[in-house]
A and B are shown apart, each in its own frame.
Chain A
Amino acid sequence: MDKIQNNKAWFLVLPVLVLVAFSAVIPLMTVVNYSVQDTFGNNVFFWEGLGWFQEVLTSKQVHSAFGRQLMFSGLILAIQIPLGILIALSMPKKGFWASVCLVLMALPLLIPWNVVGTIWQILGRADIGLLGYTLDALNINFNYSRNPVHAWIIVVTMDVWHWTSLVALLAYAGLQSIPQAYYQAAKIDQASRWKVFRYIELPKMQGVLLIAILLRFIDSFMIYTEPFVVTGGGPGTATSFLSIDLVKMALGQFDLGPAAAFSIMYFLVILLVSWVFYTVMTNLDKAEGR
C-alpha cells in the first residue's frame, strides 16, 4: 500500500506554537527590545543602541561572574557524574532493597530549591546547625558567611547532595538496560571488573550519561535559589553566579537595559551548549541505529 503524503497533521502543533509564543517568544522579543534602550520607568524608553552589549561584554563584573559560573558547573559535574555512576554501580540490581534504594535516592530530588537552601543554611551555622556545631567542636573554624572557600564548599556540597541522585538514577536505568548476555560473555573471557565497566557498562551508559551531563550543566548554569538563600552571593561576590548578578541588575538596580543585554548573552551561551549536546546525542543515536 502506498504511504499517503499529507502534512495537515502539522496543524495539530498549532496550540503548542501559540503557547510557546505567548510564554517564550514574545517575552524574549521584549527583552531584545529592552536591550537596545534605556528606561527610567513609566514605559518611556530612550534609544541606546549597542551600548549595553558593549558594557556587558567588557564588564569585569560579568566576566568574573561567568568565570565563577563555569567553575561551579565544572566542579559539580566533576563530582556528581563519577559519584552518580559509582552509586548506581553499587546499588542492588533487583529485589526489596533495590526499591528501597530507588525511593531513598529520589527523596532529595523532591525537595524544593529554597528548602534545600534553608536546610544547608541552618546546618552549616555554628550556633544552631549540626554540621557547623560539630566542626566548631572539632576546632575547625567553619564560617561560610565570611570565608569564600567555606561558602564554595557549602554551595557545592549542597548541590551534590541535591542532584547526585538524578545522575545515579539515570545511570542506574542505563545499567539495568544492559542485557545479561554481555556480562556472561565477559565472564567467559575472564574480563576483570574494570574491563567490564570500561568496555560494557560505560559505553552502554553513554546515552543516559550525556543526558545527565546536559541536565546538570544547564541546571547548574542557571542556579539561583540555593546560593541566594545560603550565602546571598557572598561573602563579597564569591558565590554570585550569573543569575544572581542578573537579578541584582534587573530588579535590585532596575537597570533593565544592561540586564536585558546580559540575559541575551546568557541565553546565547546556554543555546550554544544545548545545541552541542543535542547534536552529539542525536548523532550517537544514529550511529547506534546503524
Chain B
Amino acid sequence: MNLNWMAWTLPTAIFFAVIACLLLFFTFLAIKYPETPRRGILMIETTRGDRLFITLLGSAFINAGWLAMSGLPQWWALGICAFYAAAVFRWV
C-alpha cells in the first residue's frame, strides 16, 4: 500500500500514534475497570473518555494560544497541557 499521497512526516506520525495509543489504553481501561460517571466542577456527568476528550481538545487550544501569543518554545505549552490534563482528570 502506497501512502505517499498522505504526505506523512515523523512528528505527525508520532502525534497520531500517541492519540491512537491513548484511545486503545482508555478502551482497555473501560473494559477492564468499568466505572460510573461522576459530576465535577463543570456540573456535568463525565466518564474517563469524556475527560480524555476535554483534555485533548483543551490541549489543542492551549497549544494554539501559546503559539499565537507567547513567542516562547512550543514545548512549554506541553507542560501547561500536562497540568491541565491532571486538573481535568482530578476535578472535572
Give me the interface of A with B, judged by CB distance under 8 Å.
7, 26, 29-30, 32-34, 36-37, 39, 43, 45, 47, 50, 53-54, 57-58, 265, 268, 271-272, 275, 279, 283, 286
Question: What's the least CB distance linking B20 to chain A, in Å?
Answer: 10
One digit per residue, 1 when the CB lies within 8 angstroms of any chain A CB and 0 when it does not, for chain B 13-36 equals: 001100000000000000100000
Measured in the bound complex, the distance between the Cα atoms of B64 and A99 in whole Å is 50
Q: How far is the CA of A34 from the CA of B5 in the complex (A)?
A: 10
Taking a contact as CB atoms under 8 Å apart, the answer to whether A45 and B7 are in contact is: yes
Q: Within the complex, which residue of A34, A50, A54, A268 is in contact with B57, where a contact is CB–CB below 8 Å?
A: A268
Contact check: which of B7, B45, B60 meets A37 at CB < 8 Å?
B7
Nearest chain A residue, comparing its CB with the CB of B5? A43
Q: Which residues from B are CB-within-8-Å of A47?
A: 9
Q: How many residues of B contact A (CB 8 A)?
A: 21
Check B61 for interface membership: any CB of A closer than 8 A. Answer: yes
Given contacts A29-B16, A50-B67, A283-B44, whether A37 and B61 have CB atoms under 8 Å apart is no
Within the assembled complex, what's the spacing in Å between the Cα atoms of A286 and B37?
Answer: 12
**Using Cβ atoms and an 8 Å threshold, which residues of chain B touch A45?**
7, 9
Complexed CA–CA distance, A30 and B5 (Å): 8
Query: Shortest distance in angstroms between B13's beta carbon and chain A's nearest beta carbon?
Result: 9
* Contact present for B16 and A50 (CB under 8 Å): no
- Chain B nearest CB from A86 CB (Å) reads 32
- Whether A58 pairs with B68 at a CB distance below 8 angstroms is yes
Cross-chain contact A57 with B9 (CB below 8 angstroms): no
Q: A57-B68, A268-B60 are in contact. Are A286 and B45 (CB under 8 A)?
A: yes
Residues of B within 8 A of A279 (CB): 44
